[in-house]
Structure 1
Amino acid sequence: MNSYKVVNGLCGGNVKQDGVILIVDDDEDILVAGKLLLKRHFSSVQICNQPENIPRLLSEQKFDAILLDMNFGPGESSGAQGYLWLEKILEIDPQAVVIMITAHGGVDVAVDAMKLGATDFIAKPWQNEKVVATLSSAVQLGRTRTEAKVLRNTNKMLAEVSGANSGQTLLGNSTAMKTVFSLIERTAPTDANVLILGENGTGKELIAREIHAQSLRSNKVFMSVDLGSLSESLFESELFGHKKGAFTGAKEDRVGRLQAANGGSLFLDEIGNLPLHLQAKLLTVLEQRMVTPIGANLAVPIDVRVITATNVSKQDLSLESKFRQDLLFRLNTVEIDLPPLRKRCNDIEVIANHYIKLYAKKYQKSDKSLSASALAAIESYPWPGNVRALRHAIERAIILSQGHELEPIDFQLDPTPNQAGDVVAPAPISLSNNAVDNDDLNLDRLEKSAIKQALQKHHYNISHAAKDLGLTRAALYRRMEKHGF
């Protein structure tokens, strides 16, 4: 035992560091000597003389480092038992830091153990200073591994959260949407930059998220930045980051969005609103694939896929006075044009049914469906706010509806939307053929007669009749209900 006695005042005296150590050896002298030595330097030291107890001990506590003998039992020298228990420990805890204890002549065996996952080895008889130094390094390594695992799990969770869409999804069977889906499918597996064009509310961010979800970066972060909401003064700080003291109010280092999205996808919404002088700075970063935080001297390499979107028309983007063409060429390797909802009316029913189920569940309502008149009303409405407006209208209808079917009145549609498909005053229709008495000026009867004549003229084709009357389909359905058609 004299070879393992504790020397007073080693490595800074009695100063301890946080660390939980486990010593596994069948030699009681080594266990006692090791515990006497290490408890002066670490917060907790446990000993075990029977390796069969290792699984139980690992289930009861997390050890920062494990000292494991290579051989158990008289005459053993092959190291086979050490290999066996090293393997079992790493099966239970792949992050475990294991230091092998070996006889002086068994260094080659210990080296083989390191190839199997051991962190280091200590030869017997040991030197106290070396044991403490080795264990101190091992404890720090264990902490680093644990922190790295937590960080990976956190990043994984953040990636999942950043990719979530809160029940929103891309829906549609129209030819236009099938084209969009095809573009996503072909583009997503590449790292090509994508520019998404479309009116407000068409679902540009959903397209960006779907591209990310189908890409090779899907397990990394999806970072979304609304450039339209960023002031010019915050643009560089938000995207590029800054160092502490770089400007008034910079009290600590800040990682920019480009660095935060490293390895993943960066979605820049409303890119068309970016001023020209800031477009130049963004172009430089994208060309060099390097970003320099404000106040820093060194540029940091970045690996991000850039997806952008704008509601600015393609014609306006082509104007040099509004948008840098060299930046546009950098962004629109692939261009996806998302059509407005009014140009894909066939998709309205499937979108509506999706959100009806979603909001009925959210507000704990019974199953609801669209009445024929309600479906006709929302299919004929121009939806100036596109899918976003339809979604909000359905949410409102679910809240207001009192029956099992949603009716047109539940949607509270604006009779005069300010976009294509505007409701206009009814066009004059001839009231010949004795539809009504020429002297009858009752408005209700005149309206009923005009509707009847238009329906008969167009063989009850609602779209054609509504157009002839100068109404939307929704307005015509409301009037048909009013007059009992």
Structure 2
Amino acid sequence: MAEKAGSILIVDDDEDILVAGRLLLKRHFNRVTTTNRPADIRELLAREKFDAILLDMNFGPGESSGEEGFAWLQVILELDPEAVVVMITAHGGVDTAVEAMKQGATDFIAKPWQNEKVVATLSAAVKLGQSRDETARLKGANKTLAAASVGSAPTIIGDAPPMQELMRLIARAAPTDANVMILGENGTGKELVARELHRQSRRSSAVFMGVDLGSIAESLFESELFGHKKGAFTDAKEDRTGRFVAASGGTLFLDEIGNLPLHLQAKLLTVLERREVTPVGATRPVPIDVRVIAATNIALDQLHDEARFRQDLLFRLNTVTLTLPPLRDRREDIPALATHYAAFYARKYGKAEKPFSPDALAALAALDWPGNVRALRHAIERATILSDTERFEARDFADGAAAAPAAPVNGDAAAPALDDLNLERLELAAISTALKKHRYNISHAAKDLGLTRAALYRRMEKHGL
């Protein structure tokens, strides 16, 4: 026998109906509550959440208009807009019951009723009520998660003229639903700008979802972005919601879009044009409502190369284009950034905050930071861990390999001696060489090293790069 589930409330002035309903329904549902006084409805709903409510249309001898039923239906829906209400009516009152459904009732039962009909109707009503509750919980959770994800995002730091212009453009573009293309070198903070666009948009209460296209295998592209149905391929053991549908109502951030192969660019273009996706293995498309923000470290002139990037897709994505300045072009922001990250890592590692000496700030400002803000952040983290003085000194940042201007690969001074077989030093040299060779393009360097982007980032952090 299936496990009983669901709670039912029966409201009827006929005591025989209440007794019969309780005896019938308690065999099928977990809890059955009855009352012959509709005035008890407010107290009962305040005390308990019912999956379905069985409500009589008329109360009192001789009543047949259904007006009382309409009135109490409205009371219930005011107290709980998601309540599932099934009306009880006499055979001759079907038209009245239909009117009640127009006013918000879910279904009706005619009396004298048939037991099978009552059980079937209320079973469906309970499932509907539980699904509504689950939907409400998920919406609440999504709203909380969306607020937390945006609220916890770090703020954009910088008062240099290029940053002031960037913030001005963000403020103008954010309130619209226009697609935005963010250009900038690795480490300049493209995702941070995307989150700021979302935070200032009309979609800020909905989800912000980021996708690193550079880390998705081509064979999984459609499944990840569009979803799939159970059995669509060997490993599809259950339905999967794609990123476009999961971000519906909010913002979808497509990072590293410049690395997307041309044949996958065509699939993405189709989705953006039709505003719908078809999960792998499905026959019907699913409508989507997302704002797309894309980002790439590829220069705009290279994006205009048709052999590399579809121009029709580019036109879809770059309604507004934002270009992030490299850190070397806004050196006046380095002291504020360094102070911010020093405070952050002091809290993270349980250390006392300490200031920077003038020589330390001058040393930081003198470097070109090809890894941009990300490289500066790593340098501050390393210094926070290793520095043993009361303030940061220039020597704390003497190891500027990750921050120095890109040097020729041949004759790299950081390379170990030919007879040096230490794996740590060999790995550091290989990573440094690949980064410099590709001018800190993480995707290209990772590919050259035979690593994923995530694996390369982990090794960069390990070596303080």
Query: What range is the shorter-chain TM-score in?
Result: 0.7 to 0.9
Cα shift readout 1:296-332 (whole Å, capped 9, x = no counterpart): 4444433332211111122322323332333222222
**Residues 395 and 165 from structure 1, CA distance in 2 versus in 1: closer, same or farther, beyond 3 angstroms?**
farther
> Which residue of 64, 74, 77 maps to 2:51?
64
Conserved? CA contact 2:368–2:404, under 8 Å: no
Instruction: Please state how far the C-alpha of 1:72 moved relative to its aligned partner.
Output: 5.7
Q: In the aligned structure 2, how far is the partner of 1:276 from the partner of 1:241?
A: 20
**Residues 166 and 362 from structure 1, CA distance in 2 versus in 1: closer, same or farther, beyond 3 angstroms?**
farther
Q: Which residue of 2 aligns with 1:354?
A: 340
1:218 aligns with 2:207: no
1:31 aligns with 2:46: no
Q: In the aligned structure 1, how far is the partner of 2:218 from the partner of 2:115?
A: 61
1:398 aligns with 2:376: no
Query: For 1:300-311, what aligned pairs fall within 5 Å after superposition?
Result: 300-311=286-297
Q: Which residue of 2 aligns with 1:138?
A: 125
**Residues 64 and 359 from structure 1, CA distance in 2 versus in 1: closer, same or farther, beyond 3 angstroms?**
same
> Which residue of 201, 204, 212 maps to 2:187?
201
Task: Using structure 2 for the length normalisation, give the TM-score.
Answer: 0.75
SS in 2 for 1:210: helix
Cα shift readout 1:409-459 (whole Å, capped 9, x = no counterpart): 33454168442799xxxxxxxxxxxxxxxxxxxxxxxxxxxxxxxxxxxxx
Q: Which residue of 1 aligns with 2:311?
A: 325
Conserved? CA contact 2:245–2:288, under 8 Å: yes
Instruction: Please state how far the C-alpha of 1:336 moved relative to its aligned partner.
Output: 0.8
Instruction: Please state how far the C-alpha of 1:217 moved relative to its aligned partner.
Output: 2.4
SS in 2 for 1:405: coil
Q: Aligned partner of 1:368: which letter?
A: K
Conserved? CA contact 1:366–1:404, under 8 Å: no
Query: For 1:107-146, what aligned pairs fall within 5 Å after superposition?
Result: 117-122=104-109, 126-146=113-133
**Residues 91 and 202 from structure 1, CA distance in 2 versus in 1: closer, same or farther, beyond 3 angstroms?**
same
Q: In the aligned structure 2, how far is the partner of 1:166 from the partner of 1:395?
A: 20
Conserved? CA contact 1:200–1:385, under 8 Å: yes
Conserved? CA contact 1:382–1:421, under 8 Å: no
Q: Aligned partner of 2:20: which letter?
A: A
Task: Using structure 1 for the length normalisation, give the TM-score.
Answer: 0.73
Instruction: Please state how far the C-alpha of 1:128 moved relative to its aligned partner.
Output: 4.3
Q: Which residue of 1 aligns with 2:367?
A: 381
Cα shift readout 1:155-206 (whole Å, capped 9, x = no counterpart): 3244345x44755221111110111111111112222221111111000011
Q: In the aligned structure 2, how far is the partner of 1:421 from the partner of 1:189?
A: 43
**Residues 112 and 273 from structure 1, CA distance in 2 versus in 1: closer, same or farther, beyond 3 angstroms?**
closer
1:147 aligns with 2:149: no
Q: In the aligned structure 1, how far is the partner of 2:280 from the partner of 2:106?
A: 41
Conserved? CA contact 2:55–2:87, under 8 Å: yes
> Which residue of 250, 253, 256 maps to 1:270?
256
Q: Which residue of 2 aligns with 1:178?
A: 164
> Which residue of 75, 81, 90 maps to 1:94?
81
Conserved? CA contact 1:70–1:82, under 8 Å: yes
Structure with the greater alpha carbon radius of gyration? 1
Q: In the aligned structure 2, how far is the partner of 1:402 from the partner of 1:178?
A: 36
Q: Which residue of 1 aligns with 2:452?
A: none
Conserved? CA contact 1:373–1:407, under 8 Å: yes
Q: Aligned partner of 1:96: which letter?
A: A
Q: In the aligned structure 1, how far is the partner of 2:366 from the partner of 2:407?
A: 8
Conserved? CA contact 1:377–1:408, under 8 Å: yes
SS in 1 for 2:201: coil
SS in 2 for 1:369: coil
Conserved? CA contact 1:165–1:206, under 8 Å: no
Instruction: Please state how far the C-alpha of 1:377 moved relative to its aligned partner.
Output: 2.4
**Residues 309 and 43 from structure 1, CA distance in 2 versus in 1: closer, same or farther, beyond 3 angstroms?**
same
> Which residue of 332, 355, 362 maps to 1:369?
355
SS in 2 for 1:146: helix
Aligned CA-pair RMSD: 3.4
Identical amino acids, percent of aligned pairs: 66
Q: Which residue of 2 aligns with 1:237?
A: 223
Q: Aligned partner of 1:46: which letter?
A: T
Q: Aligned partner of 1:153: which letter?
A: G
Conserved? CA contact 1:65–1:135, under 8 Å: yes
Q: In the aligned structure 2, how far is the partner of 1:244 from the partner of 1:34?
A: 41
**Residues 418 and 373 from structure 1, CA distance in 2 versus in 1: closer, same or farther, beyond 3 angstroms?**
closer
Q: Which moved more, 1:292-301 or 1:173-182?
A: 292-301
> Which residue of 18, 25, 44 maps to 2:5?
18
SS in 2 for 1:211: helix
SS in 1 for 2:31: strand
Q: In the aligned structure 1, how far is the partner of 2:199 from the partner of 2:401?
A: 39
Q: Aligned partner of 2:134: which letter?
A: E
Q: Aligned partner of 1:209: which letter?
A: R
Q: Which residue of 1 aligns with 2:244?
A: 258
Instruction: Please state how far the C-alpha of 1:353 moved relative to its aligned partner.
Output: 2.7
Q: In the aligned structure 2, how far is the partner of 1:127 from the partner of 1:415?
A: 82
Q: Which runs of 5+ in 2 are unaligned?
A: 409-465
Conserved? CA contact 2:209–2:243, under 8 Å: yes
Q: Which moved more, 1:65-74 or 1:89-98?
A: 65-74
Q: Which residue of 1 aligns with 2:155?
A: 169
Q: Which moved more, 1:77-86 or 1:247-256?
A: 77-86
Q: In the aligned structure 2, how far is the partner of 1:349 from the partner of 1:330?
A: 38
Q: Which moved more, 1:72-81 or 1:189-198?
A: 72-81
Cα shift readout 1:41-74 (whole Å, capped 9, x = no counterpart): 4333222344555455445543211223456667
Conserved? CA contact 2:328–2:372, under 8 Å: yes
Q: Aligned partner of 2:135: which letter?
A: A
Q: Aligned partner of 2:358: which letter?
A: A
Q: Aligned partner of 1:364: which letter?
A: G
Q: How many residues align?
A: 408
Q: In the aligned structure 2, how far is the partner of 1:40 from the partner of 1:413?
A: 75
Q: Which residue of 1 aligns with 2:278?
A: 292
Conserved? CA contact 2:160–2:333, under 8 Å: yes
Q: Which runs of 5+ in 1 are unaligned?
A: 1-13, 423-485
Q: In the aligned structure 2, how far is the partner of 1:358 from the partner of 1:183?
A: 28
Q: In the aligned structure 2, how far is the partner of 1:36 from the partner of 1:54?
A: 21
Instruction: Please state how far the C-alpha of 1:286 moved relative to its aligned partner.
Output: 2.7
